[in-house]
């Protein structure tokens, strides 16, 4: 969605308060991405004539969204839908299943959240049942989707909740008892709650599978199928994936009925605003090469990828000792530590964030100038996800990949996938010599003893 430059509605916002008073006099929990259920308190102040005029003229109104939702979108500063939104929203409003191939940073979250809020608000309350379920692979993504539901749903009566692993489930149980209309969840924790009989899907009419390719990469395919099987009948299903591999087609055939197919770009492409290059460097020299890159003044905010969690921790400590402020984020970090690291990176207090592929799928930070692949990914598709974190909103970003001698085959896979030869910096390193075989000590031949009187053999 493109930003509005001239139309603002700052006078329509209420001052944010930490707590909102409930009818019982006790302060209610704040809205946001916490696991507790959240009902955004609709602003009762009517729209001004200028706002009504902007709503009527908005491109979001033309695709069929309710005025209350268009008002929220405009208040966020967006004027026109992105390509994926323009294609998905009309099909979703018509209650068709959708299979969408869209990379990160294309506005796909709003492409499914806005139609869901439209349908739920139009239907009104329905016996306190969960009516929409959104599955996403990581905690960070779940929190971001819930935040989008809060922001875009501020003028409609739709209660939402978000649940994920890594935190106590007590607040999540309380959130489910509050009867949310929209539930955002990660597969593992949702299955746990289902097995405990704490969540039911009798009233679900809308189902979204976000980041389906990452779900498969993380081994959630069987969990996803079990959850989908627990849904009643065939709810409207929207499946989003950054890549459209054969495994995704197979999953879609089992979950979607006559879907509308949406693709905002070729099956596998990298953003045109990202300048890509590869640096051939020996494995032992990668740390020095990284320090050289990060020492460039053009590196305003860098996201560095490693292949393993241990590697992320080790690299972060080494950069810290070299005087480069950085944080590490990966699946072994607690939720609090991950949120603090992201907040520091987002605010600019930390210039470098070291991450693994799984954790990075939940990173939504503007202004990342550089993505650096310290280790090339084992899965070529992950390269597309990685570099999609820079070069957003028309800005130019840089993606630099370090390639050691034993990673040449991974580079070939990446270039075959994106159908592009990456510009090369530096000479290809000589293959690292194989370790010499261990020397076998010379031993005197063993004497063969014969019993006295035995015949010689």
* Domains present along the chain, CATH in parentheses: 2-13+28-263 (3.40.50.300), 274-425 (3.40.50.300)
More confident residue, 382 or 344: 344
Q: Averaged over 121-133, what is the pLDDT?
A: 84
Q: So what's the pLDDT on residue 9?
A: 40
Q: So what's the pLDDT on residue 388?
A: 84
Q: Averaged over 261-285, what is the pLDDT?
A: 81
Which residues make Cβ contacts (< 8 Å) with residue 448, sequence separation at least 6? none
Which parts of 332-379 fold into alpha helices (H)?
335-347, 357-360
Q: In whole angstroms, what is the distance from residue 200 CA to residue 144 CA? A: 24
CB atoms within 10 A of CB 313: 16
Q: So what's the pLDDT on residue 301?
A: 93
Give residue-wise pLDDT tens across range 48-68: 888 889 999 999 999 999 999
Q: So what's the pLDDT on residue 28?
A: 37
User: What are the backbone dihedrals phi and psi of residue 344, each rounded to the nearest 5 degrees, phi first?
Assistant: -65, -40
Q: Averaged over 340-368, what is the pLDDT?
A: 84
Burial readout 410-436 (b: 16 or more C-beta within 10 A, e: otherwise): bbebbeebbeeebeeeeeebeeeeeee
Q: Averaged over 182-199, what is the pLDDT?
A: 95
The pairing of strands 78-80 and 2-3 is: antiparallel
- Confidence grade of residue 379 (pLDDT, cut at 50, 70, 90): confident
Q: In whole angstroms, what is the distance from residue 103 CA to residue 16 CA? A: 33
Return mean pLDDT, the chain. 82
Q: So what's the pLDDT on residue 280?
A: 95
More confident residue, 27 or 374: 374
Q: So what's the pLDDT on residue 19?
A: 32
CA distance readout (Å), 322 to 20, 251, 295, 304? 46, 46, 11, 16
More confident residue, 4 or 242: 242
Is the CB of residue 387 less than 8 Å from the CB of residue 105?
Answer: no
> Does pTM top 0.85 for this prediction?
no
- Write down the residue that tokens 């939702």 correspond to: 69
pLDDT above 70 as % of the chain: 79
């Amino acid at each position: 969605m493109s930003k509005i430059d001239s139309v603002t509605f700052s006078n329509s916002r209420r001052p944010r308060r930490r707590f909102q008073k409930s009818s019982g006099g006790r302060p209610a929990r704040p809205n946001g991405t916490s696991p507790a259920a959240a009902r955004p308190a609709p602003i009762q102040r009517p729209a001004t004539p200028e706002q009504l005029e902007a709503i009527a003229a908005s491109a979001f109104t033309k695709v069929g969204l309710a005025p209350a939702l268009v008002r929220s979108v405009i208040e966020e500063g967006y004027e026109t839908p992105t390509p994926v939104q323009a294609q998905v929203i009309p099909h979703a409003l018509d209650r068709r299943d959708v299979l969408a191939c869209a990379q990160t940073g294309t506005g796909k979250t709003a492409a499914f959240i806005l139609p869901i809020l439209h349908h739920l608000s139009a239907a009104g309350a329905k016996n306190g049942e969960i009516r929409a379920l959104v599955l996403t692979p990581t905690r960070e993504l779940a929190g971001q989707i819930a935040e989008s539901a809060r922001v875009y749903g501020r003028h409609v009566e739709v209660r939402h909740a978000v649940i994920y692993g890594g935190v106590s489930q007590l607040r999540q149980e309380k959130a489910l008892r509050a009867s949310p209309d929209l539930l955002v969840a990660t597969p593992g924790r949702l299955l746990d709650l289902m097995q405990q009989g704490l969540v039911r899907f009798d009233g679900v009419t809308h189902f979204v599978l976000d980041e389906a390719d990452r779900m498969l990469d993380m081994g959630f395919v069987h969990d996803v199928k079990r959850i989908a099987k627990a849904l009643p009948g065939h709810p409207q299903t929207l499946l989003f994936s950054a890549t459209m591999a054969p495994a995704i087609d197979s999953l879609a055939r089992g979950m979607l009925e006559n879907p509308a197919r949406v693709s905002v770009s070729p099956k596998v492409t990298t953003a045109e605003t990202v300048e890509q290059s590869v640096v051939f460097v020996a494995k032992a020299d990668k740390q020095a090469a990284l320090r050289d890159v990060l020492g460039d003044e053009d590196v305003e905010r860098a996201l560095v990828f490693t292949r393993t969690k241990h590697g992320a921790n080790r690299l972060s400590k080494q950069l810290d000792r070299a005087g480069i402020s950085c944080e590490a984020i990966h699946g072994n970090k607690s939720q609090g530590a991950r949120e603090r690291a992201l907040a520091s990176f987002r605010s600019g207090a930390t210039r470098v964030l070291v991450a693994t592929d799984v954790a990075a799928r939940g990173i939504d930070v503007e202004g990342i100038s550089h993505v650096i692949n310290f280790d090339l990914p084992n899965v070529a598709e992950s390269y597309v996800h990685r570099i999609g974190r820079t070069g957003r909103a028309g800005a130019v970003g840089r993606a630099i990949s370090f390639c050691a001698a034993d990673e040449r085959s991974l580079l070939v896979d990446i270039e075959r996938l994106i159908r592009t030869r990456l510009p090369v910096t530096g000479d290809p390193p000589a293959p690292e010599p194989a370790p010499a075989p261990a020397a076998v000590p010379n031993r005197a031949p063993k004497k063969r003893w014969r019993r006295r009187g035995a015949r010689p053999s």
